[in-house]
Amino acid sequence: MIKKIYVILFLLILISCSLDRSNPLDPLNSGKDAPRKVTGIVVTNYDNTSLVISWDTMQNIDGYYIYRSTYFDGKYRKIVNEISHSDSLFEDTDVELPEKFYYYKMSAFKDLNGKILEGYRSEPKYVN
């Protein structure tokens, strides 16, 4: 009886290994390339009332995310739900200048039929 169970388990495992699996968000197996890192990010202090973030626009993406932290290696929170792929500038007016110092990270994303494929986040950027 125990041998039959082992044989059945072995066959089930063998059959499951041959099943075709596709994950539309897996850039290695889906045929979709994850967006590259956002480049050319510059953070500028605009008259101590806001910070302006600019970046190089990218092709073949659907938009950008911007994350902010008050510490270089702190927890970064998304401050903008999504920015259009054609934009290359964002003004952050929800800041307390000069009392606090802010770090920003960005990522690009693609929308794959309602599923979001986000690229790697950039290195932290701050006012130069």
Q: Output the tens digit of pLDDT for each of the chain's 128 residues.
A: 788 888 888 777 777 766 665 665 565 555 567 899 999 999 999 888 999 999 999 999 999 999 999 999 999 999 988 899 999 999 999 999 988 999 999 999 999 888 899 999 999 999 87
Taking the model in full, what pTM does it have?
0.75
Domain positions in the chain are 37-128
SS3 of residue 128 by DSSP? coil
Q: Which of 106, 114, 69 is nearest to 87 (CA)?
A: 106
Whole-number pLDDT of residue 18: 65
CA pair distance 5, 93, nearest whole angstrom: 65
- The answer to whether the CB of 113 falls within 8 A of the CB of 25 is no
CA pair distance 62, 86, nearest whole angstrom: 9
* CATH of the domain spanning 37-128: 2.60.40.10
User: Using only C-alpha atoms, what is the Rg of the chain?
Assistant: 22
Whole-number pLDDT of residue 102: 96
